[in-house]
Structure 1
Amino acid sequence: MEIQVHPKVVHQVAAKNIRIMNYTNLVRTIIITILAFSIFTGCVTQQGQVITKDGNYNVHISKSNSSKDPIVYGRLHEYNSDYIIKIGIVKINDSIIHHADTTGEFSFRVKSGRYSFKGRCIGNRDVKSKKIRANLGDSIKIDFYLKQDTTKFVDPPIHK
């Protein structure tokens, strides 16, 4: 017994299956694009001026094809003035310390990775950056602008 199918029906079924496959590929492509975009934007560092409650910092990252470790450099400034902070430090991930020189400048190399940097000086508030991605060959310029610390000290009571 032979089953006969009209060619028009075969064509309609094939067209429907093709539409389903195209829709599935479109959905898959959209999902992959969204995932790739979210992964990429999660690794991007905000550049330019970043304002915090304790001061500001400017970040500028220059990329190169060099295979050298990333270099981090910049200067410590007093907030809203031209005054250069001459005795300051920069901390990496709240631990490793690098000193600024007498011109307020600092420079050091780090391994590739994600780091936060903190500008510090006695009499000023600390300014901490968000995590910054450092890749091989990067030159990362960070200028910190520290606000004066206006915390008042209270003399402890003297007990006799």
Structure 2
Amino acid sequence: MKILINVAAIFTLIILNSSCSTNQGLIKSKEGAYEIIINKSSSDNDPVISGHVYEFGTKDPVLAAFVWNDKHYDVKTQVDLKGRFRYTTKPGKYKTHASFVGFRPSLTKSFVASKGDTVYIDFYLKLDTSGFPDPVIKARKSQKK
């Protein structure tokens, strides 16, 4: 009897835990890609946004990249040496940006962050080679003296 109750309790917890999380999967764009997971809780705390910024294709951290929400341009956070970021925001509907010099900036689709939510976003930024012109090599005749 005890075993049945424990198995039923564990099964119920697994179902409840899986229903409290939203995973949009890997979303690709010309700027790179991102993955967003929103974990819901009954906490009364403001939403936490955290994750990583990686280089697309290598998964190397993009050191010193900036991350911010579209409604709070004045509140930017910079990733650490492992590409991690974390900040608290007010409940609301947001798009989150990630960028750094030499990479294409990335922007998530809109998502809702509610009280108690923890939003995990992993960005995969592509190198921006459009700003670098193709080299031009010109040959000149040398003048005889």
Moved over 6 A (4+): none
User: Which of 78, 85, 88 does residue 55 from structure 2 map onto?
Assistant: 78
Name the residue aligned to 1:11.
Answer: none
Of 65, 74, 93, the match for 1:114: 93
> How far 1:46 moved relative to its partner?
6.9
Supply the distance in 1 between the matched residues of 2:59 and 2:77 (Cα, whole angstroms).
22
CA distance in 1, matches of 2:24, 2:64: 26
Deviations 1:109-135 (A, max 9, x none): 111001110111111000100111000
For the pair 1:131 / 2:104, whether they are aligned, the reply is no
Q: Deviations 1:12-40 (Å, cap 9, x if unpaired)?
A: xxxxxxxxxxxxxxxxxxxxxxxxxxxxx
1:48 to 1, 9, 25: 25
**Who wins on radius of gyration, i.e. which is larger?**
1
How many residue pairs end up in the alignment? Answer: 111
Q: Secondary structure at the match of 1:47?
A: strand
Q: Secondary structure at the match of 2:76?
A: strand
- Consecutive unaligned residues of structure 1, counting only runs of 5 or more, are 1-44, 155-160
Coordinate RMSD, CA, aligned = 1.8
Q: TM-score, normalised by structure 1?
A: 0.65
Does 2:74 correspond to 1:92?
A: no
Name the structure 2 match of 1:21.
none
CA distances 1:72-131 after superposition (whole Å, capped 9, x unpaired): 000000001131111100021071311111111000011100111011111100010011
Structure 1 residue identity aligned to 2:128:
D
User: Structure 2: 5+ residue runs without aligned partners?
Assistant: 1-21, 134-145
Q: Percent identity?
A: 33
Q: Which has the higher helix share?
A: 1
Matches within 5 A, 1:133-148: 133-148=112-127
The structure carrying a bigger strand percent of its residues is 2
Matches of 1:62 and 1:127, distance apart in 2: 22
